[in-house]
C-alpha cells in the first residue's frame, strides 16, 4: 500500500504546489486529510478533473472561528505533518501557526509552501511561477539566443521548485524526527527551489562555459541536440550529443557518405542544422519513429498529451492509468516492495464526514456534533 502507509498529513487546500506535494505523499500511501474553506474555493476544473487532489478525502472547516481552530488543533494531536500555502502570517493570525501547533504536538513537521519564502523583502508580496523563476535566472536561461525567454509551463517554479521540494523537505524532517523526537518548520519557497534546480548551470557559469540563453549544446544551440519538423508538420527530438550516437544517426539517415559540416566547429552548426532539417522533412514523424525508435541515436517522437499514454513503452510500464474515465500519470517513482497506491479520485467535503475523519480519533458522537454544529462538513 505504499512506503508512507501510516503517515498522517493535514493539508490546507491551495493551488498547484501544495496539492502537488500532498498528492506525492498520498500516492505513496500517506493518509492525507485536506481542509477546505466552507465556501466554494476557486477551482479551474470540475472536482473529478482535479487530479492533484487524488487519493485523499476532505472536510470543510472555517479556521476563522474558535470551533474551527479547535478542530484543527485536535487533528494536529495525531498528525505527523501539516501542509499550508498561505502568505506568511496568515496561519499565525488564525492561531494555527507553528508555535501553537508544535505546542500541541512537538513531533509535528510543519510544511510551509510559498513563492518568496517566510522572510525577506518580497515575502509578503503576491507572485506567480513566472515571477519566481524570473528572479532566479531560470527563466532567462530557457529559450533560443536572440529571442525572448520561453515559459516552461509552471513546471520549474510551482511543481519542480515548489511542490517537489516541499515533499522532499518534509520527508527529511520526518526522518530526522524519528531520531530526535522533535518536529520543525519546513520553509519551502519556490524561489529557493527554482534556484536550486539551476545549481549545475551555476557551475557552468563559474567555469566560463555558460554564454547565455540558447548557446549551450543541450539548450538547442547544437544541431545534433534539438527538435526537428517532419513532413507531416509533426516533430521529433534528436539527442545525439555523444560521438557514437551521432555516427549512428548519420548511418541510419543515410548521411554517413556525405561530406557534412564539422559538428565540432560551432561556426558550422547553422549549415549542419539546415542539412539535418532537410533530411527530417522527407518523412513523417511516425516513419522516423519506425526507422530510429529502436536505435541508440537518442531519439523520440514529440508526442501530444493525448498521444503519450498510448506509446508502447508507457503501456508496457503502466506509466499512465485510467481512473473513472480519466487518463492520468501513475504515481512515481516506483518501489520494488512497497507499491504505490492505485490512484482514486479525491473526495470533496460534505460527501462523508465520518469517512473523512476515520483514523483521526473521533467518535461517531463527536463527528455528529461537528456536523450538526456546522463546525465541519
Does pTM top 0.85 for this prediction?
Answer: yes
Q: What is the pLDDT of residue 40?
A: 59
Is residue 129 within 8 Å of 159, Cβ to Cβ? no
Give catalytic status of residue 128 as yes or no: yes
* Per-residue pLDDT tens digits for 190-210: 999 999 999 999 999 999 999
The catalytic position among 128, 140, 311, 314 is 128
Mean pLDDT of 215-219: 87
* Per-residue pLDDT tens digits for 313-361: 999 999 999 998 999 999 999 999 999 978 888 888 888 899 999 999 9
The catalytic position among 158, 187, 192, 289 is 158
Domain boundaries, the chain: 8-197+320-372, 217-229+235-301
On the question of pLDDT at 309 being above 70, the answer is yes
CATH architecture of the domain formed by 217-229+235-301 = 2-Layer Sandwich (3.30)
Is residue 361 within 8 Å of 78, Cβ to Cβ? yes
Cell of 349: 467535503
Nearest-CA neighbor of 47 among 324, 322, 376? 324
Q: DSSP for 184-253, please give it.
A: EEEEEEHHHHHHHHTHHHHHHHHTT---STT-SGGGTTSTTEEEEE-TTS-EEEEE--SHHHHHHHHHHH
Give catalytic status of residue 158 as yes or no: yes
Q: What is the pLDDT of residue 43?
A: 64
Q: Which residue has the cell 515559459?
A: 151
Which CATH code for domain 8-197+320-372?
Answer: 3.40.50.10540
Amino acid at each position: 500500500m505504499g512506503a508512507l502507509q501510516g503517515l498522517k498529513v493535514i493539508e490546507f487546500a491551495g493551488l498547484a504546489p501544495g496539492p502537488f506535494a500532498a498528492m506525492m505523499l498520498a500516492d505513496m500511501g500517506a493518509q492525507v486529510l485536506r481542509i477546505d474553506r466552507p465556501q466554494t474555493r476557486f477551482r479551474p476544473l470540475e472536482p473529478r478533473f482535479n487530479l492533484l487532489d487524488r487519493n485523499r478525502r476532505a472536510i470543510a472547516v472555517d479556521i476563522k472561528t474558535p470551533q474551527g481552530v479547535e478542530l484543527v488543533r485536535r487533528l494536529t494531536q495525531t498528525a505527523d505533518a501539516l501542509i499550508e500555502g498561505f502568505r506568511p502570517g496568515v496561519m499565525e493570525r488564525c492561531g494555527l501557526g507553528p508555535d501553537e501547533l508544535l505546542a500541541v504536538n512537538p513531533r509535528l513537521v510543519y510544511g510551509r509552501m510559498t513563492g518568496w519564502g517566510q522572510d525577506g523583502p518580497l515575502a509578503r508580496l503576491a507572485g506567480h511561477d513566472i515571477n519566481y523563476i524570473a528572479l532566479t535566472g531560470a527563466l532567462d536561461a530557457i529559450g533560443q539566443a536572440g529571442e525572448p525567454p520561453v515559459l516552461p509551463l509552471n513546471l520549474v517554479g510551482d511543481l519542480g521548485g515548489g511542490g517537489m521540494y516541499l515533499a522532499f523537505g518534509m520527508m527529511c524532517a520526518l526522518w530526522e524526527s524519528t531520531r530526535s523526537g522533535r518536529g520543525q518548520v519546513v520553509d519551502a519557497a519556490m524561489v529557493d527551489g527554482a534556484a536550486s534546480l539551476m545549481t549545475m548551470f551555476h557551475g557552468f557559469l563559474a567555469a566560463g562555459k555558460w554564454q547565455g540563453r540558447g548557446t549551450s549544446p543541450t539548450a538547442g544551440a547544437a544541431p545534433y541536440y534539438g527538435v526537428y519538423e517532419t513532413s507531416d508538420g509533426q516533430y521529433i527530438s534528436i539527442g545525439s550529443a555523444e560521438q557514437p550516437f551521432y555516427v549512428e544517426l548519420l548511418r541510419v539517415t543515410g548521411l554517413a557518405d556525405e561530406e557534412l559540416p564539422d559538428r565540432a566547429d560551432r561556426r558550422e552548426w547553422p549549415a549542419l542544422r539546415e542539412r539535418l532539417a532537410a533530411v527530417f522533412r522527407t518523412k513523417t514523424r511516425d516513419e522516423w519513429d519506425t526507422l530510429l525508435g529502436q536505435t541508440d541515436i537518442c531519439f523520440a517522437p514529440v508526442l501530444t498529451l493525448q498521444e503519450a499514454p498510448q506509446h508502447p513503452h508507457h503501456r508496457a510500464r503502466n506509466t499512465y492509468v485510467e481512473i473513472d474515465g480519466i487518463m492520468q500519470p501513475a504515481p512515481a517513482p516506483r518501489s520494488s516492495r512497497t507499491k504505490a497506491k492505485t490512484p482514486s479520485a479525491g473526495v470533496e467535503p460534505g460527501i462523508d464526514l465520518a469517512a473523512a475523519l476515520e483514523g483521526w480519533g473521533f467518535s461517531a458522537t463527536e463527528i455528529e456534533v461537528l456536523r450538526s454544529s456546522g463546525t465541519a462538513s
